[in-house]
Amino acid sequence: MGKKQKEIEGEKLFELHYQDIYGDRWPTLRLALLEERKPVAFCEHLEATYYLDEASIVAARLLGVQKGDHVLDMCAAPGGKSLVLASSLQGSGKLVANDRSATRRGRLKIVLKNHLHEAWQESVQVTGHDASKWGLYEQGLYDRVLLDAPCSSERHVLNDGKALKLWRPSRPKVLAIQQFAMLAAALEAVKIGGVILYSTCSIEPIENEGVIEKLFAKRAGRFALEDTSGPDAEQRSYGSIILPDRANGRGPLYFCLIRRVS
């Protein structure tokens, strides 16, 4: 098969895949994903305003961070959700903002430095660990864990011709394996009674509720799900999703709130 044929195949496979998932809704959802994002200003307790998707603010606040909490953001870059978490801590407790990529970690440090009060920065630690192995080294340590997992990010794919041409159905399956490993590590890292927020910006079910389904299969009895209902949040078999075609351009963002019970 020639290069040109492979590129055409990537676009066709993408369309067929999501058409199969979303049916008659797909054309409308596709158009919404192609539209320019509408970030909103977030400045609560910050030194400077940061602009991000409103759905990200809604999800990060679901974690329910309280002053004095020990919080882990496992895949923190570019840093918008970390700022939401830090705004709740207000310089108390501790926030560990992790990202494995040195490049992304560099941008994360700049965002935190430019937006957080200088005194608050002392309670924030930036790390570069492999999130999937976190539970091997720190167990039962955190009150709250945010896992905004690397995902298919279909909005980006649709707006990037090169990425669209290279897309294959195997990609979400590979990502789902990685996402589960990270979530399993988060379950070890959080305290009993503590809470994990698992989120992605994917519209792919196997990366979203499919990962939670696998957690039920592999870690049954160790956790329970919390309510994630709210404005524009569409309920899934596990968790909720905000999709831009029905949320005035917000999202996509999937999120599931998980409380460790043993």
- pLDDT tens-digit readout, 172-201: 999 999 999 999 999 999 999 999 999 999
pLDDT at position 9 is 87
Residue 43: name the closest of 106, 114, 108 by CA. Answer: 114
Taking the mean position of all CA atoms in its chain, how far away is CA 224?
Answer: 19
pLDDT of residue 145: 98
Cβ–Cβ under 8 Å, residues 53 and 232 = no
Give the per-residue pLDDT at 8.
Answer: 64
Q: What is the predicted pLDDT for the residue at 157? A: 97
Rounded to whole angstroms, the Cα distance separating 73 from 38 reads 24
The encoded tokens of residue 203 equal 């519209």
Distance CA 153, CA 156 (A): 6
Instruction: Please say if 43 is a catalytic residue.
Output: no
pTM assigned to the model: 0.96
Instruction: Give pLDDT < 50 ranges for the chain.
Output: 1-2
Inter-residue contact 129 to 102 (CB < 8 Å)? no
* Dist CA 161 CA 239 (whole Å): 31
Q: How far is CA 173 from CA 57, 107, 181, 201, 205, in A?
A: 28, 29, 13, 15, 10
Q: Which residues contact 258 (CB under 8 A, 6 or more apart)?
A: 187, 195, 196, 197, 198, 212, 215, 223, 224, 225, 226
pLDDT of residue 117: 96
Q: How far apart are CA 81 and CA 95, in angstroms?
A: 12
Residue 84: per-residue pLDDT: 98
Looking at residue 93, its pLDDT comes to 98
| Contact (Cβ atoms closer than 8 angstroms) between residue 213 and residue 237 | yes
- For residue 127, the SS3 value is strand
- Report which of 143, 152, 145, 218 is spatially closest to residue 180, judged by C-alpha positions: 218
User: Domain 3-260 belongs to what topology?
Assistant: Rossmann fold (3.40.50)
Cα dihedral 75, 76, 81, 82, rounded to 10, equals 130
Residue-level pLDDT at 135: 87
Q: State the catalytic residue, choosing from 43, 75, 151, 201.
A: 201
The answer to whether residues 143 and 95 touch, using CB atoms and an 8 Å cutoff, is no
